[in-house]
Structure 1
């Protein structure tokens, strides 16, 4: 693919950085639009998005460093080169959720309503951001003989050197298309929402299923648990799925969850 989009002397624009930035802007724009429709102050929502975005980037980077610590031990300066690639979604998700809840509690924002606004935006952002992963060569798939396998040849990509020139599952595209489908599904359900938190929890149910399935085809080292039975992301997916499913049925039955919404 194309890890470097433009290079002029000392200036280098990495394709990954461009798409990740575009993903955040797309998600924030859609969230602001949703906030206006729900009667939430757009300025407050923008401030919220700023802190949540910072938490997401920091959390995503920290988890990537933990999973790939031998790589960073060999070259510690790369810890700070985020624009080259290397973010783990669930690390960002956990960081963002913690900061989002703290912020909304402090500023008396309706947590479930805001969650319903943000969920489709998050899916859209992931769909865009995964194109950056494809360009950088991170999150790559296992070798495949299928006709849609993609081959990385640029030595600057994040694909393991032994995988260069070999057709691989385009797991980045699987994720991008899956998240785009999830985005449209959540938009469709938003117009038929029965209770506050439904869209957020549908995301929490559907995304872990999508992610766990795609993990089967991933070929990059990303940590494993239980003797290799589950990847780190699959393990987190199980937890997120069970929590979301539990709250979905509670709220669908009309149970109130104290402090989550107005």
Structure 2
């Protein structure tokens, strides 16, 4: 049997309810990200239950944010089909929407708890990339978020295992595994961020590095994809958001270096 046929996006069914690999993989990404962040948060002086309390709000709001973002940039369709807006099980979420909602949730949560937003986000930065790296494999299972057409030889020259090559074989055409490119880029970012903890950067700079690193990779990888959301014409939404994130990160880095006195560093309590 062709391996492509064996990779069913539905993991199992509970009566009429289909449990998809996409959801399972996203959940695994959240659990792994939580596990990595929790250990570092306790080391950095946060209460044991702090992250759990945050995620109770953060996870559902991130999903809502991801859906709202997608609907906004697909409004031509959803304005004509409003009943489909809540049908998230048919697909249609965007990571930038999830990130924006997550950052806002974290900001207001830290304000309420009287803790540092920048300290929290520095700790969470590697875990955000972990969750994103794992989550992209949900796209792999759905055969989505891929790039343009390539040859099988091209994929073989990347030294990819056959099961990835075959999953990128969709209706007789091979495609760029852009999900994999972004996943690998994010994993490299995780390694760099963990190493940067020892450098003891100023508070907030780990998070700003995360924003810059992810956005640079996303900008170039987005240009290869065939399922982008568009602002106008051929202007891809994710590329515009990535450029804005890079610019804001650089401006904040310079501004905070010049103005934040005394300088609090990552390893400071």
TM over 0.5: yes
- Structure 2 match to 1:113: 119
Report how many residues are paired: 250
Structure 2 length as normaliser, TM-score? 0.83
Q: Any stretches of 5+ residues in structure 2 without a counterpart?
A: 1-6, 157-164
Aligned CA distance change for structure 1 residues 43 and 69 (closer, same or farther; 3 Å): same
Q: 1:124 to 1:104 in 2, by over 3 A?
A: same
Match of 2:44 among 38, 43, 47: 38
Show the counterpart of 2:177. Answer: 170
Task: State the alpha-carbon separation in 2 of the partners of residues 232 and 4 from structure 1.
Answer: 30
Cα pair distance change 1:35/1:214, threshold 3 Å: same
Give 1:97's match in structure 2, choosing from 103, 121, 125: 103
How many angstroms apart in 2 are the aligned matches of 1:40 and 1:152?
A: 42
2:225 corresponds to 1:218: yes
| Pair 1:245 & 2:250 matched | yes
Structure 1 unaligned regions, length at least 5 = 155-162
Assess, with a 3 A threshold, how the Cα gap between structure 1 residues 20 and 107 changes in structure 2: closer, same or farther.
Answer: same
The 3-state SS of whatever aligns with 1:32 is helix
Matched, 1:234 2:242: no
Larger Rg: 2
The separation in 1 between residues aligned to 2:27 and 2:85, in whole angstroms, is 18
Give the RMSD, CA atoms, in angstroms: 2.7
Please say if residues 151 and 168 of structure 1, whose CA atoms lie closer than 8 Å, have aligned partners that are also in contact. no
Question: 1:190 deviation in Å?
Answer: 1.4
TM-score by length of 1: 0.85
Equivalence map 1:22-61=2 (5 Å): 22-61=28-67
